[in-house]
């Protein structure tokens, strides 16, 4: 069997792997698990024995197919529960991440299937992240980061790629909600910050850092 803790490591290695095709470093895992590098080394050896990651000391780590499948199952559960919390229980999208961090470890395939059905087989979670199907296949939603959009283009906001309460509440404050129409007015060459128009109305100035974490759909 796989423990709660092991599942968290797999999920975090998966997330880091999405951003690079190199092996993942011990330190970067330590940062996300909020543990020390020494603890990560121990866990990597254990996961490696279970054939969930391939790991050579000093060379970083990579998920095996088996490890990736398990990671995707956990992510599927996390995102389905987030949909449940928002669509059925009426939570705000900035309130659900922590609860889903617990719910994602509940162990029952039957439960996940029935939950999926109960929610109407959603394609993405309240933050716009795609939900893997029962076989771990991620639907391709084709969203882009707002930071990749050129001047004068008009897009619809579909999600975020950062879930911290801070960030989500900042977005709410300036009116960046799911489904709003965003026009890129101007991009500052120097720091890539941008001026945008939200809903054809208010004009706002946002940093590159913020834009990078906003998912949009082009027309």
Nearest to 132 by CA among 64, 79, 63, 85: 79
214 binds its own copies (CB under 8 A): no
Q: How far apart are CA 27 and CA 37, in angstroms?
A: 6
172 binds its own copies (CB under 8 A): no
Among 5, 123, 145, 153, binds DNA (CB under 7 A): 5
118 or 205, CB closer to its own copies? 118
162 binds DNA (CB under 7 A): no
Count interface residues toward its own copies (CB under 8 A): 18
43 binds DNA (CB under 7 A): yes
Asked if residue 158 lies in contact with residue 143, where contact means CB atoms within 8 angstroms, the answer is yes
90 or 120, CB closer to its own copies? 90
Give the three-class secondary structure for 193.
Answer: coil
Per DSSP, the residues of 106-125 read: ---HHHHHHHHHHTT--SB-
3-state class percentages of the chain: helix first, strand second, coil last, to nearest 5? 45, 20, 40
Among 18, 19, 21, 58, binds DNA (CB under 7 A): 58
Interacting residues toward its own copies by CB under 8 A:
85, 88-91, 95, 98-99, 102-103, 106-108, 110-111, 114-115, 118
């Amino acid at each position: 069997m796989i423990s709660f803790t092991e599942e968290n490591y797999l999920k975090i290695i998966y997330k880091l792997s999405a951003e690079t095709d190199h092996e993942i470093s011990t330190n970067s895992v330590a940062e996300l698990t909020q543990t020390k590098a020494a603890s990560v080394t121990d866990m990597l050896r254990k996961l490696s024995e279970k054939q969930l990651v391939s790991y050579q000391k000093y060379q970083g780590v990579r998920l095996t197919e088996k490890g990736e499948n398990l990671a995707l199952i956990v992510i599927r559960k996390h995102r389905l529960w987030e949909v449940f919390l928002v669509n059925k229980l009426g939570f705000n999208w900035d309130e659900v991440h922590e609860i889903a961090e617990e719910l994602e470890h509940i162990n029952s395939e039957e439960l996940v299937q029935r939950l999926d059905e109960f929610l109407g087989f959603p394609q993405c979670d309240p933050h716009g992240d795609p939900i893997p199907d029962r076989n771990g296949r991620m639907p391709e939603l084709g969203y882009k980061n707002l930071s990749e959009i050129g001047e004068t283009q008009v897009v619809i906001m579909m999600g975020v790629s950062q879930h911290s309460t801070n960030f989500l509440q900042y977005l709410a404050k300036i009116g960046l909600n799911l489904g709003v129409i965003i026009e890129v007015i101007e991009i500052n060459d120097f720091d890539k910050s941008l001026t945008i128009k939200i809903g054809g109305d208010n004009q706002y100035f946002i940093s590159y850092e913020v834009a990078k974490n906003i998912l949009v759909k082009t027309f």
